[in-house]
Amino acid sequence: MAEPLSVTEKRFLKALNGETVDRPPFWFMRQAGRFLPEYRAVRATTKDFVSFCLDSEKACQVTLQPIERFGMDAAILFSDILIVPHGLGQNVRFVEGEGPRLDPVTDDAGVARLTMEGFETRVGAVYETVRLLAKRLPSDVALIGFAGAPWTVATYMVAGEGTSDQKPARLWAYRDPEGFGRLIDLVTEATIDYLAAQVEAGAEALQIFDTWAGSLPEDEMACWVFAPIARIRAALKARFPHVPVIGFAKGIGALLPRFAPATGVEAVGLDAGIPLDFVRDYVQPTAIVQGNLDPLLLVAGGDALRRRTETILRTLGPQRFVFNLGHGIVPETPPAHVGEVARIIRDWRP
């Protein structure tokens, strides 16, 4: 067996460190998922989704599937952002065809019922998945751990489901910022422990997903998006100074140049709506950037997919850049289209 590569020899980690790479590394959000028939075959063997996420062998297996098929430069742990509320004792379940359902937390009494006691026991299978992946991944593929950002996780915890406008959490934050802040503080502390344990188990980089960041106005975003992520980043930096963190604050638009300086993350995820020239001129000088192909282009395929892939590579690559999507792969994506983009990236040179 070949000797494992050092951290600095992994293309993905070199890019996050700002080192020179021959081509941009790539991985795709939700690269382990329903668009792959091999994923669906494994998923069919487990009745409910939370149990699937907490089955270490199966979670490891589906994490490896896209690496084996497409040769990404990084694998991201297969799990879900709602494992943290599950760990805090909130009832989390997934309804087929509808999405997550949680027992809503809407006041101080609801927050008081959540607890860090038993957290590690309830989520410990995730750490075992990371340990398995650290042993089984190819030596040139980096391992990404992840968690949802406190704001986005809280929107589900408060509403009890996904919502189009995050109205329940936004109203609580407006009407009772101290009470809502206690929920955010608890989720923040749980997230720090959760991510730290992933690093201890073998994760080499981390991503924080703030999918619903764009639902907040500027002043609220500073409070509920920037500040909690900054706390998480500072705590992790103190313990693991060489582990880079990617922050994905979807939909924050013109505030994106402030995100890395305000939070301390090394890399910034880009949604599909952000202009490439704006990113190149105002974001990339201060942070590594990651993104931002429209996931529906992966569904459409053809010339439009090839042109946009090459435009992104030409505008943002090859240095200080990781190729990814502007959001996760959707289930109807043809795997052949993912393979085509992978080929374009591997063959591309500036």
Catalytic residue status for 30: yes
Residue of 80, 210, 271, 294 marked catalytic: 80
CA dist 22 and 24 (Å) reads: 7
Closest of 189, 83, 76 to residue 143, by C-alpha? 76
Show Cβ contacts of residue 254 under 8 Å, excluding neighbours closer than 6 positions: none
Q: How is residue 41 written in tokens?
A: 């075959």
Alpha carbon of residue 163 to chain centroid = 19
Q: Give buried/exposed letters for 185-221 (b at 16+ CB in 10 A, else e).
A: ebbbbbbbbbbbbbbebbbbbbbbbbbbbbbbeeeeb
- Longest CA span, the chain: 60
Show Cβ contacts of residue 253 under 8 Å, excluding neighbours closer than 6 positions: 214, 273, 274
Q: Which amino acid is at 308?
A: R
Q: Give buried/exposed letters for 30-55 (b at 16+ CB in 10 A, else e).
A: bbbbebbebbeebeeeeeebbebbbb
Q: How is residue 232 written in tokens?
A: 């998480």
Catalytic residue status for 239: no
Contact present, 203 and 16 (Cβ < 8 Å) = no
CA dist 151 and 273 (Å) reads: 21
Catalytic residue status for 43: yes
Residue of 30, 170, 258, 308 marked catalytic: 30
Residue of 11, 23, 127, 156 marked catalytic: 156
Strands (E), the chain: 74-76, 92-95, 99-102, 142-148, 205-210, 245-249, 267-269, 288-293, 321-325
Burial of 89 (0-12, 13-18, 19+ CB in 10 A): middle
CA dist 185 and 62 (Å) reads: 32
> Catalytic positions, please?
30, 34, 43, 80, 156
